[in-house]
Each structure stands twice: as structure tokens, then as C-alpha cells.
Amino acid sequence: MSRGRWRDMAAEELQQQYSPSRWARRLRGDAAVRAHIEAVTAGTQRARAGTRSSLHVPYGEADGERLDIYFPAEPSESRWGAGGPFPAFVYIHGGYWQCLSKDASGFAAPPLVSRGVAVVAVGYDIAPKGHMDAMVLQVRRSLAFLAKQYSGIRGIYLCGHSAGAHLAAMVLCTDWTEFGVVPDIRGAVLVSGLYDLEPILHTYVNDALNMSWEVAQRNSPMLCITQAVPAAAACEVLVAVAQHDSPEFRRQSQEYSQALRSAGWSVSLLDLATVDHFDIIEKLSEDTYILIQVILNMIARG
């Protein structure tokens, strides 16, 4: 299924392709979404209870512009200077740009902070309050803030799920000159993401987003891939997709990874068996999960 195949789909089929809960293994529909929200929220609460953290750190003036930072066990100071330097795993939540928050985004902290990795959960203003251009800008500004404020960071490793993978991919095509800093992004883990927003215009998802064609075009990672310069080539990109993601989600992951590779990026595609759109990311709370091991190996290479 090549890019543009979605144009031949009937409206009902297109809606189904972009409804991840219809493809979930354990539960379907709203029950799958509720179970996912409960899982990541409970995991975040456990992380907050068992990890030293700084919550609701402002990186801007807007309500949603806040970070949660989970620190490794080693002693550190406010700028991560004494116990660092630490690699930082920066997580951008999904929710189709209109639900979830950083308060359900710390669930991956326990297996990572125990291995010396700081975890940062990024908040942003979701729709309908936030619009697509603003969300992309906020996430970029959060990375610039981290680079400027925390001298103890030893490499940033981005991770985003679903809509969060889209936002993370938009970070990769940022022109950092206007931000006055170039974050040291050494890796990106893009999980079950969306990289071409045009199909979304024709689904229920756009009811809250209210994107125009122009907004979708300029915020589609597939359309703004930059030719890899040395710094970009040194950034390792992992595009992960679930066996039980829909064919359209799987197609988008495959085509985006191919496009990055063609532009000279260091990229690999990981097709994870047995999982669906939801537990592919929920399992980041587990020490033995293959994706956690892949992330740790990426950080070790960095």
C-alpha cells in the first residue's frame, strides 16, 4: 500500500484504518482506549511514588508548557551537574493530539532511571485549545529549554507514541537557528506514529483539530525530511510499529523509515510481534520489554 492508496478507500474504511482501537488485541473501541489511559496513568503514579522527580517544570508561559523530570538514583543538583552527566529520555505522549497529558507520561521512568537515564515527560496544549502549528512549536521549544537549562544532559533521546511520534518526527526537521541552541539529539524512537497528516483531514480525528490542507502539509514529517547533515546522520532513528496496528499505520511507518533512509539518516524499522497500538508503548514500564532493551542499547551506543 503506497502513499496515496488511502485516496481509493471508501470513507468508512478510511475511518476504520485511522481508529487504532478497532485493531486492538485485548479490547475494542472505547474500552481499549479507557484501558490504555488507565494503564499509563497508573504506571506514571507508580513512577512518581518511587522516583525522585521535579514535576510541572515550566518551559513557557502557556498552561500546557510544563515538563515532568524523573531523575536517576545518583545524587544530582538542579542543573544535573553533580551526579551527571545523564542521558535524557524525552517522552512525547499520544492521544491523537486531543487527549492524555504529561501526567500519564512517566510510566517508562522506573526501568530507565534505575539504569542512569533521566526521563522527561513533555506537556503541550492539546486540541481544541492547541492547534497543530502551536503543538509542534511547543514541543520544539521544550527541547530548546532542556538544552539551555540543564547542562548535565549527555545526549537527548526522543520518544513519541502515535501523535507523539508525529511531534517527535517534526522535531527532527527543526531549523534550530531561531531557537538559539541546537539540542544534542542522539536518538529518536518513533512508536506507531503518523507521518503524513493528509488522510487525517478526512476522518473524525480532524473534528477537534480543525486542520486545513495547508496546515496538514506543513506539519507532515514525510514532507519536511531534510537531507542528513553530519549531525543528523549521527542521530539514530528507530521507527517501531505494532503487528496489530492498522495497515495504514503500518504503511506510514514503513514509508517514513524508507524516506529517512533515502535522505541519508541512520534509521531502522522494528516490527514488534504480538502487540497492538496501545500495549506497544504501555510495556515500556517493564524491565524486560524488548523495546526498553533496544532503547538502552541505543543510549549505550550514543
Distance CA 205, CA 85 (A): 41
Annotation says 162 is catalytic: yes
Of the residues 68, 103, 184, 245, only one is catalytic, namely 245
Please answer whether residues 86 and 267 qualify as being in contact, where contact means their C-beta atoms are separated by less than 8 angstroms. no
Q: Which residues pair with 185 in a beta bridge?
A: 156
Distance CA 115, CA 99 (A): 30
In angstroms, what CA-CA distances link 287 with 88, 93, 113, 220? 18, 20, 11, 33
Of the residues 105, 162, 220, 285, only one is catalytic, namely 162
Give the start-end residues of each E strand in 4-131.
Answer: 53-58, 66-70, 86-92, 118-122
Q: Which residues contact 123 (CB under 8 A, 6 or more apart)?
A: 64, 65, 66, 67, 68, 101, 102, 105
Annotation says 245 is catalytic: yes
Q: Which residues contact 34 (CB under 8 A, 6 or more apart)?
A: none
Nearest to 146 by CA among 196, 99, 191, 184: 184
Of the residues 36, 161, 244, 277, only one is catalytic, namely 277
Annotation says 207 is catalytic: no
Just list the catalytic residues.
Answer: 162, 245, 277
